[in-house]
Amino acid sequence: MFAAVQIEGATTVEMVCAAAEAFSPRIEVRPSCVVLDVSGMTRLFGGAVEVGEALLGAMPGVRAVAVAPTCAGAMVLAASAPGLHVAETSEAMAVQLSTLPVAVLEGVMQASSGRTDTGRAGREVGGGGGRVRQALQRWGVTTLGALVALPAAQVRTRLGDVGVAWQRLARGLDEAPLVPRVAAPVFERALELEWPIEGREPLSFVLARLLDPLALELERADRGAVCVRTALHLTTRAVHVRALPLPAPLRDAKTLRTLVLLDLESHPPAAAIDRVHVRLDPTPARVLQHTLFEPAQPAPEQIATLIARLTAVMGEGRVGTPALADTWTPGAFRMQPCELGPLPPPQHAASSGPVSNAVRLANLPPPHAASDAVPPSASSGHTTAGSPHTPDLPIGFRRFRLPVPVRVRVHEGRPVHLLCDRPGIAGGSIVQASGPWRTSGAWWQAPAAVTDGQVPWDRDEWDIALADGTLYRLHVERAVGQWALDGLFD
């Protein structure tokens, strides 16, 4: 005996499933319909009618409830009209189905094709309902009884597998058994401690007792953890909660314990611990396939442990992959978590023909907009764009990680001489200077406020050429008059 609950309006599938679990553990969820196995419930309620009334009373927001000997028959009866429909025997179900219109089957077929265990053939059967309905209308078949009376061989010849599926559904025959919904497993453990603990070493033993069985459960379920949620109940009745996202699905107990300990070392609890609760967020385990022509990448467990150790030493937000910040602030960047993935394919630079001096100057990084920053060639080994011995290649710019402070002499508003104390950086007379290019921004924020690199700045930038042919980018902070070198042109 099966029951079908037709959903309509604001009632959700989860609400119906929560109420249906009080009646039967075997529940299958289909589009706009929930089917449950109510076999044996007549001993509790007295009959099929009483079972249907109990279901309808427990789910007041549903459209219809039907009880029938088969899943297909219950679904068709529930889709036919609102209210309660009961067929205790196969003969009574056949009588009730025979009077229903053929149009009822189209919605039921679409719900059947939406099952997760239905293959390509089942989806094709559910998708050809419009063609079958039009054909039956031309033949004058308007009820399910008339459809059942048609010869099965002739229906297959003219309508194919879709027509046969419609005819079997009109008889109330199941195409597949009921597939009960299985609740997602919960990977969590808790341990009450006899005495409060403090320090990393005793906590490591407690975490080992919790994570070892959890790792075994993950392996049996072919799952990996993507996040470790730790809740430490302290003696002060406070709860120290930490959520540790993982760069890749992991299920090694030792690695998980090390990562949790390193995270708690950076964020220690404020008091002794009375109770430890660990919960893992699962995901399907990763499938690792090495190639024959590329070197093997390090295991994600090793990289995750390394990143956690570096984070414990350097601090939160200082370890990761640098990325460009959404700002015009010069040199601004942000740190994002490392993403473990396959190595990108090698990119070979395409060879190009000679590049003219104008194109070479246009390739300079912003804020270059003029071509007067090209100095004459000198005998120091640095060649310039105007040298006859220099191939026409684009100019590259090497930005210093930190701007180099320098002293600059200015004449009539233009830099004329550069002096630097750092070894390896040339100084001397400035023979050409292009600029200034004035940039400013984030003036609406307080000087101490930092939001993704958005710090106030106000500077003038120059492109300069020294007497020995060296090209630099120079800037001055207008508020304090401090000069610094941003980088070197090759």
The 3 state secondary structure assigned to 331-349 is CCEEEECCCCCCCCCCCCC
pLDDT over threshold 80, residue 68: yes
Architecture of the domain made up of 187-284: 2-Layer Sandwich (3.30)
For residue 57, give Cα distances in angstroms to 2, 8, 15, 31, 161. Answer: 17, 16, 14, 22, 39
Q: Which of 335, 331, 333 has the alpha carbon at shortest distance from 485? A: 331
- Give span(s): CATH 3.30.1490.100, the chain: 187-284
Q: Cα–Cα distance between 85 and 68 in angstroms, integer?
A: 8
Provide the pLDDT for residue 392: 60
Q: Cα–Cα distance between 102 and 145 in angstroms, integer?
A: 9
Q: What is the mean pLDDT of residues 56-62?
A: 79
Q: Cα–Cα distance between 445 and 455 in angstroms, integer?
A: 7
pLDDT over threshold 60, residue 66: yes
* Residues 152 and 146 sit within 8 Å (Cβ to Cβ): no
pLDDT tens-digit readout, 210-225: 999 999 999 988 888 9
Token pair for 379: 């005998």
Please give the mean pLDDT across all residues of the chain: 78
Token pair for 49: 């009618």
DSSP class of residue 394 equals: P
Q: Cα–Cα distance between 432 and 90 in angstroms, integer?
A: 99
Q: Cα–Cα distance between 360 and 385 in angstroms, integer?
A: 8
Helix axes 152-171 and 129-139, enclosed angle (nearest 10): 110
Helix axes 90-98 and 152-171, enclosed angle (nearest 10): 110
pLDDT tens-digit readout, 391-447: 566 678 888 888 899 999 999 889 999 998 888 888 889 999 988 988 888 877 766
Q: Cα–Cα distance between 99 and 90 in angstroms, integer?
A: 15
Q: Cα–Cα distance between 481 and 190 in angstroms, integer?
A: 61
